[in-house]
Amino acid sequence: MVVFHGNAGAASDRIYYPLALETRGYRVVLAEYPGYGGRSGELSEDALIRDGRETARRVLAEFGEPLLVWGESLGAAVAAGVAADRTLPVAGVVLITPWDSLVNLAQRRYWYLPVDWLLRDRYESRLYLDAYHGPVAVLAAEQDEIIPSRHSQHLYDALHEPKRHWIFQRAGHNSWPVDPQAAWWDEVLKWFEVEVQPFSRQRTEEATMVREP
């Protein structure tokens, strides 16, 4: 499971991911972005997604399939960009507090500005995931003050099946339950595993057919 963190802090701050996921049988790679956590590099959409795809390729080369990606907030957009790469056999995606488009999010907040014209980085998660046909789990915070849950809903509505939507009741953007013992981890991962297995098997069969003379 390659995990892409949110805008604040660094990958090393997200210790709850390996604590929750490794105890449930997943190998976890906490990806760090260029310009974050002491890394040099450009802070841009192209740089983050390009680096995310390269991280996914290295993980795939070292550990093999299935390749799973998990993204939180900004990381959800990066995960969407990784999943959109058809050369990567992404078997499943989990998105926490995602937006549909950074442009849409910014336009609602700064309605008095020509956001569509001003923004360089657009992070069009909805468009990225239109190219992806595997299982996607979306988890939104009911009282999200940074990325209102309607943006997660808009993204979810546009996804291909199979998909599933959860809402953390009475939770904000930074107050959703990160406790590794929380029951939601098991619920989400149970659904995820049921959907990932047949999709991963189908991809393997399709790849085998392509290789056959």
Domain residue limits, the chain: 2-211
Q: State residue 207's pLDDT score.
A: 55
Residues of the chain with pLDDT under 70: 111, 114, 117, 201-213
Tell me the two tokens of residue 17. 């991911």
**Structure pTM?**
0.92
What does the DSSP assignment read for 80-119? HHHHT-TTS-EEEEEEES--S-HHHHHHHHTTTS-HHHH-
pLDDT at position 198: 76
Under the phi-then-psi rule, with left for phi > 0, alpha for psi from -120 to 50, and beta for the rest, what region is 9?
left
pLDDT for position 111: 67
Superfamily, domain 2-211: Alpha/Beta hydrolase fold, catalytic domain (3.40.50.1820)
